C-alpha cells in the first residue's frame, strides 16, 4: 500500500477529532471530516472537506468513505449509557467498515485505557476494536489515558500493552489531546504501527523526536486475534450477544 493521502476523520468535531483534523492537514493529507452538524466545523481549516453523516445510520456513510485511503476514528459517547455506547462507539465502527464494502484502507481507531475492564460500558468500545482486528484492514488501535490531565512538563509518551491500569481514574495515566492526535495520524504511514494495540500515556519529560521507535518497540496482535496481544482473555466469544457475533462473522476474514 502506498502512503495514505486522503483521510476521513470520524468524530472530527470532538475534542480529539479537532486536533486530528489540524494535524492531518499539517502533514499533507487531503482531509474529509464526517460531521452531523456542519456549523460545528466552521473553524476547520478552509481546505477540509466537510461531509454530513450520522454514525448510527449506515445509509448516510457511503459518500463519506468514497475514494478515501485512510480513516481515523475518534468518535464516542460519554455518560455510561450502554445504548449510546452500542449505537455510536460500536455501531460507528461497524457501519463505517461496512460502508467500505471490502475496500482496503489504513485505519487508526481511538478507544480508551481500561477498555478491557468489564465493569462499565467499555465493552462496546472493545467490540469495535474486535471488529477492526478481524476485518483484515491494516490498523493501529490507540487507547489513551485521561485527556489533558497531564502536567505541562509531562510530554514523554509511554506506550503500554495488556491494559493493566484499570482504576478508572486519572491515576491510570494522562496524555495531552494534541499528542493523542499526533500518534493517531503518525500511525497511518507507519509500518511499525501495523496491527499494534496500545495504551497511550505520558510521563515527565520531553516529547519524543520520533514516535516510530515507540511503535517499533511494541508487539503486534496475532493475525487471528480478537483482542490485543497481551489483553486479558476475559470476554469469551461464545458469551457475546448474538448480533455482535453476527457482525464479527460478517466483517471477519479471520473467523
Ligand atoms: N476524556 C477522557 O479522558 C477520555 C479518555 C479516553 C477515552 N475517552 C473517550 O474518547 C471518546 C471521544 O472523546 P472526545 O472528548 O473527543 O468526545 P467528544 O468531544 O464528545 O466528541 C465525540 C465526537 O463523536 C461525534 N459523534 C457522536 N455521535 C455521533 C453520531 N451519531 N454520528 C456522527 N458523529 C457522532 C461527535 O459529533 P458531534 O460534534 O456532532 O456531537 C464528536 O465529533 C469518548 O467516547 C470518551 O469516552 C475519553
8 A C-beta contact, residue 184 and residue 162: no
Q: Which ligand 1 atom is nearest residue 170's CA?
A: 3
Residue whose C-alpha is closest to residue 123's, from 4, 3, 237, 235: 235
Does 43 reside within a domain?
yes
Cβ(13) – ligand 1 distance below 6 Å = yes
pLDDT at 253: 61
Does 189 reside within a domain?
yes
Cβ(78) – ligand 1 distance below 6 Å = yes
Does 207 reside within a domain?
yes
8 A C-beta contact, residue 163 and residue 231: yes
Could you tell me the CATH number of the domain that includes residue 160? 3.40.50.720
- Show the cell assigned to 52: 454530513
Cβ(187) – ligand 1 distance below 6 Å = no
Atom 13 in ligand 1: which residue has the minimum CA distance?
76
Q: Domain count of the chain?
A: 1
Does 237 reside within a domain?
yes
pLDDT at 252: 85
Does 13 reside within a domain?
yes
Range of the domain at 23: 6-251
**pLDDT by residue, tens only, the chain of 255 residues:** 567 799 999 999 999 999 999 999 999 999 999 999 999 999 999 999 999 999 999 999 999 999 999 999 999 999 999 999 999 999 999 999 999 999 999 999 999 999 999 988 999 999 999 999 999 999 999 999 999 999 999 999 999 999 999 999 999 999 999 999 999 999 999 999 999 999 999 999 999 999 999 999 999 999 989 999 999 999 999 999 999 999 999 998 644
- Counting Cβ atoms within 10 Å, is residue 158 exposed (0-12), middle (13-18) or buried (19+)? middle
Does 1 reside within a domain?
no
pLDDT at 152: 97
Angle between helices 17-26 and 177-187 (to 10 degrees): 50
Does 48 reside within a domain?
yes
Distance between CA 51 and CA 8 in Å, rounded?
A: 10
pLDDT at 254: 44
CA of 88 to the centre of ligand 1 (A): 9
Cβ(60) – ligand 1 distance below 6 Å = no
Cβ(146) – ligand 1 distance below 6 Å = yes
pLDDT at 2: 65
Does 36 reside within a domain?
yes
Amino acid at each position: 500500500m502506498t502512503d495514505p493521502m486522503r483521510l476521513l476523520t470520524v468524530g472530527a468535531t470532538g475534542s480529539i477529532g479537532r486536533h486530528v483534523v489540524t494535524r492531518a492537514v499539517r502533514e499533507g493529507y487531503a482531509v474529509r471530516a464526517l460531521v452531523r452538524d456542519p456549523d460545528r466545523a466552521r473553524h476547520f481549516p478552509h481546505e477540509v472537506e466537510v461531509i454530513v453523516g450520522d454514525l448510527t445510520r449506515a445509509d448516510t456513510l457511503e459518500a463519506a468513505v468514497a475514494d478515501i485511503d485512510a480513516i481515523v476514528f475518534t468518535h464516542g459517547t460519554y455518560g455510561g449509557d450502554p445504548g449510546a455506547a452500542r449505537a455510536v462507539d460500536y455501531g460507528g465502527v461497524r457501519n463505517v467498515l461496512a460502508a467500505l464494502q471490502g475496500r482496503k484502507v489504513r485505519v487508526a481507531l481511538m478507544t480508551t485505557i481500561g477498555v478491557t475492564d468489564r465493569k462499565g460500558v467499555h465493552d462496546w468500545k472493545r467490540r469495535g476494536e474486535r471488529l477492526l482486528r478481524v476485518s483484515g484492514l491494516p490498523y493501529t488501535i490507540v487507547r489513551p489515558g485521561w485527556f489533558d490531565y497531564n502536567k505541562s512538563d509531562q510530554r514523554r509518551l509511554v506506550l503500554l500493552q495488556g491494559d493493566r491500569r484499570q482504576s478508572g481514574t486519572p491515576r491510570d495515566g494522562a496524555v495531552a489531546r494534541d499528542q493523542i492526535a499526533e500518534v493517531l495520524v503518525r500511525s497511518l504511514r507507519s509500518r511499525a504501527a501495523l496491527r499494534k494495540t496500545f495504551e497511550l500515556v505520558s510521563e515527565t519529560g520531553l516529547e519524543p523526536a520520533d514516535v516510530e521507535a515507540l511503535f517499533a518497540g511494541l508487539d503486534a496482535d496475532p493475525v487471528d486475534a480478537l483482542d490485543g496481544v497481551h489483553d486479558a482473555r476475559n470476554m469469551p466469544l461464545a458469551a457475546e450477544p448474538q448480533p455482535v457475533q453476527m457482525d464479527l462473522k460478517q466483517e471477519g476474514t479471520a473467523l
